[in-house]
């Protein structure tokens, strides 16, 4: 159903820590790997060995610079579906293929209903929808629905592929509808934010901002410079060490 | 936004078709139109033909055209679905009206009015498909729907005038209607262009990334070096110079020429006037095609903020 | 309409079978679990229990299946039929291939074994390949260390008995202040990422010293955009500040380093600068209580750190500490004096010094952990100086890298942060004696083995591999006066020297897993010419035979005479041995294996099997029994288990002994591989808490290390502030001793073999060049690519199909350059065309690009129009393998003069905007390579995984 379900209490989503994301693309590739054989398989690649290789990816990692010169920051920025609470990508879908699950808020595409009109991808401000030109249907991040609920997997493995694989642990998964969940607490502590709130889609995913730099005097508690030695030592600094009692 | 041929043809043709059906439904039985079954047949055929061609062409860009019927299901939330439902539903009054007139020489006014009602509703739905898309600020504004409606009315009226002229009539009222439609549509278009030229950015690279507090945000590297679906579909870029030239062309063909050809009609012989009316309609269609191309090409989707654009 | 939600099969079975093995999409060697479904690879995930990656997987590792199924995989042995480089091959059987190889090699061995040059690239089989070469009898063997970081490895091993690389790591759990020099990715790529995440989470400060602000540097708390090649000077300036303020750990220096050792002061004498020693050769220090010289290694000494003393034999001597302090207290190391050169402002240098001191001394950690020092004294606590450092190729890829790296180690020692809580920590088998007691071997004779390992650590001129006239004994001139401490050889000179016949000609070039005709060549165009250059007779080639073992259709394959196709990493046994480059971590020793998880579907063989088979055919000692039969009929899997280097010492340390109950030393265990497989393909021994720190002086650790064979005796390993072996070379250069460098090399040795770290401008950065070539040009490893071989991977290549030249926005704008402009990058060597991208976070005088993205058209079975060959470019085209000529016309290799480390990043360039009329594509481009026989034409559409999804209900 394309109309949205009544707002649920469970809001599964991701929290991405831009302070430590090194832009390694592990999450993007592991996502591709998992999903290539998963719910939305395949994630077709066109012209894979040719002049214009391009394929379906549910997660793409951008790099930005913010600010000027040495004062600025380089920020690596993974982008995938934010599982919005007000996802127009769902409402615009003429067939009901695009839907938001009532029980956990995951936004999915039912490929069997999809006519490939691409409208939902126009309606997503974040570019989170990926059209599979070969299959003719829209695909997208499933929040690894076939992994997070997969009872054939070890309990600990029931997290999205991108989260499990992130080497720096910049990705967190959980229920953002529960203020007590670890992800909600993380968002609260670190000032996690929504992307483009002005669009009104109310994304569930949150991004944690880069922490302030520690590159000014006093930031580690150290003085701005070491004290200059006393006048006597200045003359022959070696003398300071001559009387030091040392043992081995 | 990528100006896909199928959608440009679709919106232009079906807009004109609905404009025509709208006027036919309203004006049937008035002295403005020839009281001829052949006229009725020709007008309905053209109107429904355009609408149908448009619809068919719109399915061309579908990944699964054979499933297009599924698009009728979500009319409660989706403008695309509504458009589908209305466009198909609109065939019924049109059919009844046409059959009655063409085969039984009987003009069913209620069917005509119903047909006339469906037409703008359908065009409005089409417009709202775009006008409801927040990520595309050049669409998400109050000028889009009037533009679609007025351009449909304008092209419809010019087509109608051409048909009427071919049937030997040249009622001044119709000319006035076309002239007015052209003027209003041109105004609406200018207003649209004025609006998109001055509207404050709806979103920026800073808001898209949330990194504005750190300073100006610039893309360092895109995720992948080759273009992907997102960029092909939504990353279309048109140079400002090119756009300005095309706006001129669109304006000339959509409004200026049709206006001249319409306004000068009284000065021409009936045959020449008919020819001028056909020319006016053709010119307008051409102009609207260019305008529609621009409507897409000039529209910027917020996803490009992640690919190097600074604002949309 | 009623809301319908799709019925989703959330608990679909992932696989029919899952097998553990070890990733080899790069040399980090993470543990992986490979899920197989219907005989195909469904999913590769990180092994949660694995000590290296603890469950995570990088981009490359996650794309392993696309490399495994790459259309560029070689499919059968190939024999060249056309001219070299044309790519015309015929497929032959393995018998024929082996017979050809054995034929060539057999006659070399019988006449002059050194005419075989066997060099291996990115492999992890050096325990086998090195041993094979030694058994064959050629000294011309090395693996890729000379490309990477041999100067840093050597600097570490000659200074602290361990090194950066993956042989040591920061104490991620405890460090408060972490400085990283010149690292983009490194070998330890997942552990570093895991560690950085932890470290930042704890609120420790992370400083990245790097001209470029991407990757790790992007998440640093402070980024220092240093000028390339100047780190040594920067570090010495920090040392200056610390010494000036007396913020050093003097007790640490006295106890654990040679800072108190006495150095003979006898200017002009043959003993000047040597460590003063007693009759037994033990170093001396001046004891405060006895006011006399005593054995400096004795636990009772109370050493003086300052003073000039007269020894019993009349020698005058001063402690190392004094020499060191005198040098660095000098005003030329003051922040103001260096700021221009290093591009870091003086107040920043001062602040960093203050922060280091603060972290080390004000935030010291005291662990309540009893331990016993080398002298058997028990201590109740361990003091930690929570400052850690890590460095890689930003230091090593410069011709001053050895000394710069020694400067970093000196800084660590001054702060007392070697192998302490919060500091840099060794990974077993390190620390090792300084330097490791292995000497290089180079005496080759017909039909003879070398009798020991080829690569080693000279401690003086007597250990060099040179003829009486000073001529190098090795083809690559490693261990010659040109590169005395070349512990990993000079890979980048092999093809040039073989072609030039300098020092001698060879018969067969045998390469394994190194794309040396392309991205690991300096100046690849010229390298290819050398490979195809005809011999004087016009018939054969100047390099007569070239055998290459690759798994994929790399650029170099097209130039080989005989191609031995290897399997992929998922199709073979491999051994990640403690004798090679182990996967240990600071808290434990570990090794691992790879097991075949799928069967090859092509006519390929694991190279290690091939090598053992060749050794057997050649009847090399160690490969055959007395009766001539194969010693390892089970090939590599057999060798991994049964080969013994010494009694009970083999490739794998785990589950040794007949019953598999021994670790380290023990008889071969026939069930050993099963044990590994059952344990996820790795073995790890966790050190007890009292064995984990200060291991250079930790008795419990050293005792254990001795039982493992890591050290011969459990003696204290005294860290070397002062590097005496260097002084020995210097004395030779000054005219002392029987072995002296040829005239040409004297000045060079005298200048660079300074026993205390010093800084000099990298060779190519002569100030005279500064004006002509004002920019530094360096490369970085892309995290999602492994050198050349990522481009065949359908997923990874999408991330980097081309590479830009990145440059500072202001610099570019001043030159009128904008994004996407095509420019010529010109150096003294040549020029290459590239498209530029402007950025903020890069040192103003530096341009950079991603490494090894540029491809030869047609290689890797990519379409010849692939962007890698049109927009991608190699900076290598403008890197010269030789330095400008000496007065006598001789040209030294472009490398570190001490270790022969290739100086990739010394490069200086200028940029010239390309004409508008020029084609928007890179240059030089080479004719496309044709597809060798057997390779498929690649898919136009890749639908991998569609089959796993199976049928679903519904549909239209
Ligand atoms: N993903 C991936 N991982 C790899 C590899 C790969 O190809 N891909 N290759 C492996 C190999 S063989 C190696 S040797 C290692 C190398 O590992 P790294 O040393 O991390 O490799 P580089 O990319 O050479 O990184 C050098 C860094 O030093 C910086 N730099 C350059 N000059 C200077 C300088 O003068 N001073 C300072 N402070 N910084 C400088 C560069 O900007 C760059 O960030 O990586 C290994 N790991
Ligand atoms: N400009 C510039 N040049 C550089 C560097 C730089 O930073 N900048 N870095 C240098 C460094 S540190 C290094 S280590 C070198 C690396 O350069 P190379 O040693 O040439 O490394 P690769 O490009 O990875 O080539 C390895 C070869 O091994 C093959 N191979 C892959 N898997 C297998 C396998 O399973 N079996 C076999 N038999 N073969 C296999 C690949 O197909 C490829 O041909 O490059 C050096 N070149
Ligand atoms: S895996 Fe983690 S660190 Fe790497 S790009 Fe993704 S979020 Fe960033
Ligand atoms: S991110 Fe895009 S695709 Fe995902 S729910 Fe929001 S609008 Fe829909
Ligand atoms: S592409 Fe598919 S999912 Fe998207 S709006 Fe159209 S039918 Fe719905
Ligand atoms: S949650 Fe799953 S599908 Fe979504 S980005 Fe992460 S790995 Fe991909
Ligand atoms: S770092 Fe990545 S490619 Fe390298 S071994 Fe680990 S998972 Fe494999
Ligand atoms: Mo390397």
pLDDT at C956 over 50: no
Residues of chain C in contact with residue B74, where contact means CB-CB under 8 angstroms, are: 1
pLDDT in tens, C721-744: 999 999 999 999 999 999 999 999
Whose alpha carbon is nearest atom 45 of ligand 1?
Answer: C186
DSSP E strand boundaries for C569-668: 574-576, 588-594, 644-646, 649-650
Reported as a pLDDT band with limits 50, 70 and 90, residue C1 is: very low
pLDDT of residue B169: 87
pLDDT of residue C955: 39
pLDDT at C951 over 60: no
Residues with CB under 5 A from ligand 8 (ion): C 147-148
Secondary structure class of C421 (helix, strand, coil): coil
pLDDT at C766 over 80: no
Reported as a pLDDT band with limits 50, 70 and 90, residue C953 is: very low
Task: Give the nearest ligand 5 atom to A116 CA.
Answer: 1
Q: Which ligand is nearest to the CA of A56?
A: 6
Which of A143, A163, A176 for a ligand 6 pocket mutation test, highest count of atoms within 8 Å of Cβ? A143
Which of A81, A88, A118 for a ligand 4 pocket mutation test, highest count of atoms within 8 Å of Cβ? A81
Q: Which of A6, A38, A241, A245 to mutate to test the interface with C (most CBs of C within 10 A)?
A: A241
pLDDT of residue A230: 67
pLDDT in tens, B241-275: 999 999 999 999 999 999 999 999 889 888 999 99
Burial (CB count within 10 angstroms: exposed 0-12, middle 13-18, buried 19+), residue B58: buried
A184, A174 contact by CB (below 8 A):
yes
Q: Is the CB of C148 under 6 A from ligand 2?
A: yes
Asked if B134 and A200 come within 8 Å (Cβ–Cβ), the reply is yes
Reported as a pLDDT band with limits 50, 70 and 90, residue A231 is: low
Report the pLDDT averaged over residues C645-656: 95
Kindly give the pairing relationship between strand A129-132 and strand A54-55.
Answer: unpaired
Counting residues of chain B whose pLDDT is more than 70, the rounded percentage is 100
Q: Please, what is the Cα angle at C441 between C435 and C443, to 5 degrees?
A: 155
pLDDT at C903 over 50: yes
C190, C32 contact by CB (below 8 A):
no
- The structure tokens listed for C249 are 């750990």
- Is the bond into C431 cis (omega within 30 degrees of 0)? yes
- Rounded to the nearest integer, the mean pLDDT of chain C is 96
- Evaluate the CA torsion angle C122, C125, C129, C130 in order and state its sign: positive
pLDDT in tens, C108-146: 999 999 999 999 988 778 999 999 999 999 999 999 888
Look at residues C678, C675, C701 and name the one whose alpha carbon lies nearest to residue C688: C701
> Count of CB contacts below 8 A, A vs C?
354
Nearest CA in chain C to A38: C949
pLDDT at C578 over 90: yes
Residues of chain A in contact with residue B229, where contact means CB-CB under 8 angstroms, are: 54, 56, 121, 130-131, 133
Provide ipTM, 2 decimals: 0.97
Whose alpha carbon is nearest atom 7 of ligand 4?
Answer: A124
pLDDT of residue C74: 98
Distance, in angstroms, between B57 CA and closest chain C CA?
21
Report the pLDDT averaged over residues C399-428: 98
Looking at the whole model, is its pTM more than 0.80? Answer: yes
Asked if A30 and C62 come within 8 Å (Cβ–Cβ), the reply is yes
pLDDT in tens, B169-203: 888 899 999 999 999 999 999 999 999 999 999 99
Counting residues of chain C whose pLDDT is more than 70, the rounded percentage is 98
pLDDT in tens, C310-360: 999 999 999 999 999 999 999 999 999 999 999 999 999 999 999 999 999
pLDDT of residue C584: 96
pLDDT of residue B236: 93
The Cα–Cα gap between C441 and C447 comes to: 16
Q: Is the CB of C785 under 6 A from ligand 7?
A: no
pLDDT of residue A228: 80
pLDDT in tens, C38-55: 999 999 999 999 999 999
pLDDT in tens, C217-241: 999 999 999 999 999 999 999 999 9
Asked if B229 and A56 come within 8 Å (Cβ–Cβ), the reply is yes
Nearest CA in chain B to A54: B228
C-alpha radius of gyration, chain B, whole number: 21
Q: Is the CB of C158 under 6 A from ligand 2?
A: no
Whose alpha carbon is nearest atom 1 of ligand 6?
Answer: A143
Report the pLDDT averaged over residues B204-225: 98
Q: Does B224 touch chain C (CB under 8 A)?
A: yes
Sheet-wide strand order for C17-22: C17-22, C31-37, C40-46
B141, B300 contact by CB (below 8 A):
no
Asked if B64 and C956 come within 8 Å (Cβ–Cβ), the reply is yes
pLDDT in tens, B110-134: 999 999 999 999 999 999 999 999 9
Whose alpha carbon is nearest atom 6 of ligand 7?
Answer: C30
Asked if C956 and B67 come within 8 Å (Cβ–Cβ), the reply is yes
Asked if C43 and A169 come within 8 Å (Cβ–Cβ), the reply is no
Report the pLDDT averaged over residues C906-918: 96
Whose alpha carbon is nearest atom 35 of ligand 1?
Answer: C228
Nearest CA in chain B to A211: B214
B199, B137 contact by CB (below 8 A):
yes
pLDDT of residue A4: 81
Asked if C214 and B66 come within 8 Å (Cβ–Cβ), the reply is no
The Cα–Cα gap between A143 and C132 comes to: 51
Task: Give the nearest ligand 4 atom to A83 CA.
Answer: 5
Residues of chain B in contact with residue A54, where contact means CB-CB under 8 angstroms, are: 224, 226-229
Report the pLDDT averaged over residues A32-42: 95
pLDDT of residue A1: 46
B278, B258 contact by CB (below 8 A):
no
Q: Which of B220, B222, B237, B309 to mutate to test the interface with C (most CBs of C within 10 A)?
A: B220
pLDDT in tens, A4-21: 888 778 999 999 999 999
Comparing CB atoms, the residue among C1, C837, C867 nearest residue B226 is C867
Report the pLDDT averaged over residues A68-74: 95
Q: Which of A74, A104, A227 to mutate to test the interface with C (most CBs of C within 10 A)?
A: A74
Helix, strand, coil share of chain C (percent; to 5): 30, 20, 50
pLDDT in tens, C653-683: 999 999 999 999 999 999 999 999 999 999 9
- The structure tokens listed for C768 are 């005279």
């Amino acid at each position: 159903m394309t109309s949205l379900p009544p707002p649920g209490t469970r809001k599964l989503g991701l929290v991405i820590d831009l302070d430590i994301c090194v832009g390694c693309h592990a999450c993007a590739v592991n996502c591709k790997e998992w999903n290539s054989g998963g719910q939305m398989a395949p994630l077709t690649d066109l012209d894979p060995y040719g002049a214009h290789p391009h394929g379906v990816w549910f997660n793409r990692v951008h790099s930005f610079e913010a600010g000027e010169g040495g004062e600025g920051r380089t920020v690596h920025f993974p982008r995938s579906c934010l599982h919005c609470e007000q996802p127009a990508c769902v409402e615009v879908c003429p067939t009901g293929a695009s839907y938001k699950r009532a029980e956990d808020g995951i936004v999915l595409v039912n490929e069997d209903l999809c006519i490939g009109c691409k409208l939902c991808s126009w309606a997503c401000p974040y570019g989170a929808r990926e059209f599979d030109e070969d299959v003719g249907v829209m695909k997208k991040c499933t929040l690894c629905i076939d992994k997070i609920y997969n009872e054939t997997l070890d309990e600990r493995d029931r997290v999205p592929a991108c989260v499990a694989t992130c080497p720096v642990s910049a990705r967190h998964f959980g229920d953002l509808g529960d203020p007590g969940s670890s992800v909600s607490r993380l968002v609260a502590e670190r000032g996690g934010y929504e992307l483009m709130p002005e669009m009104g889609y109310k994304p569930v995913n949150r991004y944690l901002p880069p922490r302030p730099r520690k590159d000014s005097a006093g930031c580690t508690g150290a003085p701005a410079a070491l004290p200059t030695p006393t006048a006597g030592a200045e003359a022959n600094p070696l003398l300071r060490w001559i009387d030091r009692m040392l043992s081995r | 936004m990528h100006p896909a041929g199928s959608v440009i043809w679709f919106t232009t043709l079906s807009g004109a078709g609905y404009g025509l059906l709208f006027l036919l439904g309203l004006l049937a039985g008035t002295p403005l139109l020839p009281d001829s079954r052949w006229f009725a047949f020709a007008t309905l055929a053209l109107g429904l033909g355009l609408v149908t061609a448009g619809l068919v062409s719109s399915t061309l860009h579908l990944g699964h055209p054979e499933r297009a019927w599924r698009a009728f299901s979500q009319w409660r939330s989706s403008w695309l679905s509504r458009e589908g439902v209305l466009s198909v539903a609109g065939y019924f009054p049109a059919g009844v009206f046409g059959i009655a007139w063409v085969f039984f020489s009987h003009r069913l006014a209620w069917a005509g009015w119903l047909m006339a009602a469906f037409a703008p509703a359908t065009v409005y739905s089409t417009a709202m498909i775009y006008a409801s898309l927040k990520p595309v600020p050049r669409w998400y504004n109050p000028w889009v729907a009037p533009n679609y409606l007025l351009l449909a009315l304008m092209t419809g009226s010019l087509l109608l005038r051409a048909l009427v002229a071919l049937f030997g009539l040249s009622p001044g009222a119709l000319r006035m209607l076309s002239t007015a439609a052209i003027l209003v549509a041109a105004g609406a278009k200018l207003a649209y262009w004025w609006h998109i030229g001055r509207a404050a950015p709806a979103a920026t690279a800073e808001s898209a990334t949330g990194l504005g507090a750190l300073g100006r945000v610039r893309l360092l590297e895109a995720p992948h070096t080759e273009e992907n679906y997102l960029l092909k579909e939504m990353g279309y870029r048109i140079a400002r110079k090119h756009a300005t030239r095309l706006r001129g062309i669109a304006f000339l063909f959509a409004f200026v020429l049709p206006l001249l050809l319409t306004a000068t009609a009284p000065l021409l012989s009936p045959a020449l006037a008919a020819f001028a009316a056909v020319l006016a309609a053709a010119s307008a269609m051409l102009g609207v095609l260019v305008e529609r191309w621009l409507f897409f090409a000039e529209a910027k989707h917020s996803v490009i903020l992640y690919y190097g654009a600074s604002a949309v | 309409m009623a809301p319908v939600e799709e019925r989703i099969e959330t608990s679909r079975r992932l696989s029919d079978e899952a097998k553990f093995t070890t990733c080899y999409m790069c040399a980090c060697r993470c543990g992986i679990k490979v899920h197989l479904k219907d005989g195909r690879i469904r999913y590769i995930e990180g092994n949660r229990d694995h000590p290296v990656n603890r469950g995570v997987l990088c981009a490359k590792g996650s794309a392993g299946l696309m490399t495994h199924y790459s259309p560029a995989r070689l499919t059968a042995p190939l024999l060249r039929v056309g001219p070299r480089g044309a790519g015309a091959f015929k497929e032959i059987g393995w018998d024929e291939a082996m017979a050809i190889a054995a034929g060539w090699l057999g006659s070399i061995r019988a006449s002059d074994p050194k005419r075989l040059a066997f060099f291996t690239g990115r492999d992890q089989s050096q325990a086998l390949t090195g041993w094979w070469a030694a058994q064959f009898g050629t000294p011309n063997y090395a693996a890729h260390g000379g490309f990477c970081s041999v100067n840093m490895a050597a600097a570490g091993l000659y200074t602290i008995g361990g090194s950066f690389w993956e042989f040591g790591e920061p104490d991620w759990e405890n460090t408060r202040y972490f400085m990283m020099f010149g690292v983009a990715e490194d070998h330890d790529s997942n552990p570093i990422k895991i560690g950085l995440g932890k470290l930042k989470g704890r609120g420790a400060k992370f400083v990245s010293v790097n001209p470029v602000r991407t990757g790790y540097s992007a998440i640093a708390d402070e980024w220092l955009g240093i000028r390339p090649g100047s780190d040594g000077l920067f570090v010495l300036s920090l040392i200056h500040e610390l010494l000036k303020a007396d913020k050093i750990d003097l007790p640490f220096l006295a106890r654990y380093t040679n800072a108190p050792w006495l150095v003979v002061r006898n200017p002009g004498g043959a003993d000047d600068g040597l460590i003063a020693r007693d009759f037994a050769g033990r170093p001396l220090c001046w004891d405060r209580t006895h006011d006399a010289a005593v054995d400096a290694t004795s636990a009772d000494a109370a050493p003086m750190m300052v003073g000039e003393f007269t020894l019993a034999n009349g020698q005058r001597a001063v402690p190392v500490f004094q020499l060191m302090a005198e040098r660095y207290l000098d005003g030329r190391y003051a922040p103001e004096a260096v700021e221009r050169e290093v591009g870091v402002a003086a107040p920043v240098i001062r602040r960093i010094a203050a922060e280091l001191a603060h972290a080390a001394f004000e935030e010291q950690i005291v662990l309540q952990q009893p331990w016993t020092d080398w002298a058997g004294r028990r201590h109740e606590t361990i003091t930690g100086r929570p400052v850690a450092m890590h460095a890689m190729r930003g230091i090593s890829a410069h011709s001053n890298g050895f000394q710069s790296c020694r400067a970093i180690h000196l800084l660590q020692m001054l702060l007392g942060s070697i192998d302490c809580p919060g500091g840099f920590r060794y990974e077993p088998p390190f620390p090792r004696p300084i330097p490791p007691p292995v000497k290089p071997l180079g005496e080759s004779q017909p039909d003879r083995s070398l009798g020991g390992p080829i690569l080693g650590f000279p401690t003086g001129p007597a250990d060099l591999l040179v003829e009486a006239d000073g001529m190098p004994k090795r083809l690559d001139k490693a261990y010659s006066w040109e590169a005395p401490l070349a512990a990993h050889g000079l890979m980048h000179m092999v093809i040039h020297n073989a072609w030039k016949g300098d020092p001698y000609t060879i018969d067969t070039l045998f390469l394994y897993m190194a794309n040396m005709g392309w991205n690991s060549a300096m100046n690849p165009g010229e390298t290819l010419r050398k490979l195809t250059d005809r011999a004087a007779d016009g018939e054969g080639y100047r390099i007569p035979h070239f055998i290459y073992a690759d798994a994929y259709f790399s650029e170099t394959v097209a130039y080989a005479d005989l191609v031995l196709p290897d399997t992929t990493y998922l199709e073979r046994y491999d051994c990640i041995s403690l004798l090679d480059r182990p996967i240990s971590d600071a808290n434990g020793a570990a090794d691992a294996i790879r097991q075949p998880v799928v069967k090859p579907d092509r006519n390929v063989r694991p190279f290690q099997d091939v090598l053992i088979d060749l050794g057997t055919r050649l009847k090399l000692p160690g490969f055959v029994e007395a009766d001539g039969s194969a010693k390892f009929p089970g090939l590599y899997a057999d060798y991994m288990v049964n080969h013994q280097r010494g009694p009970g010492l083999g490739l794998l340390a785990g589950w040794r002994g007949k019953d598999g109950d021994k670790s380290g030393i023990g008889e071969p265990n026939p069930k050993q591989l099963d044990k590994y497989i059952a344990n996820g393909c790795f073995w790890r021994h966790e050190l007890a808490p009292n064995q984990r720190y200060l291991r250079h002086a930790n008795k419990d650790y050293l005792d254990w290390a001795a039982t493992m064979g890591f050290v011969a005796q459990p003696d204290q390993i005294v860290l070397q502030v002062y590097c005496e072996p260097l002084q020995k070379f210097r004395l030779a250069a000054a005219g002392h001793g029987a072995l002296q460098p040829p005239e040409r090399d004297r000045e060079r040795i005298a200048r660079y073999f300074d026993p205390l770290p010093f800084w000099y401008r990298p060779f190519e950065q002569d100030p005279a060049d500064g004006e002509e070539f004002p920019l530094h040009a360096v490369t970085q490893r892309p995290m999602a690519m492994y050198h050349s071989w990522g481009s065949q991977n359908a997923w990874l290549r999408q991330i980097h199909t081309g590479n830009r030249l990145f440059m500072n926005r202001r610099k570019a704008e001043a030159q009128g350059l904008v994004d996407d402009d095509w420019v010529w990058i010109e150096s003294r060597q040549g020029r290459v065309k590239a498209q530029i991208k402007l950025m903020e976070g890069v040192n103003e005088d530096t341009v950079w690009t991603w490494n090894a993205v540029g491809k030869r058209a047609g290689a890797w079975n990519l379409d010849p129009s692939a962007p890698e060959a049109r927009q991608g470019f190699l900076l290598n085209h403008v890197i010269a393998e030789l330095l400008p000529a000496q007065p006598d016309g001789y040209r030294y290799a472009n490398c570190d003069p001490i270790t022969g480390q290739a100086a990739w990043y010394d490069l200086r360039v200028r940029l010239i905007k390309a004409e508008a009329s020029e084609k928007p594509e890179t240059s030089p481009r080479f004719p496309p390579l044709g597809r060798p026989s057997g390779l498929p034409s690649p898919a136009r559409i890749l639908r991998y995984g569609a089959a796993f999804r199976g049928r679903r209900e519904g549909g239209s």
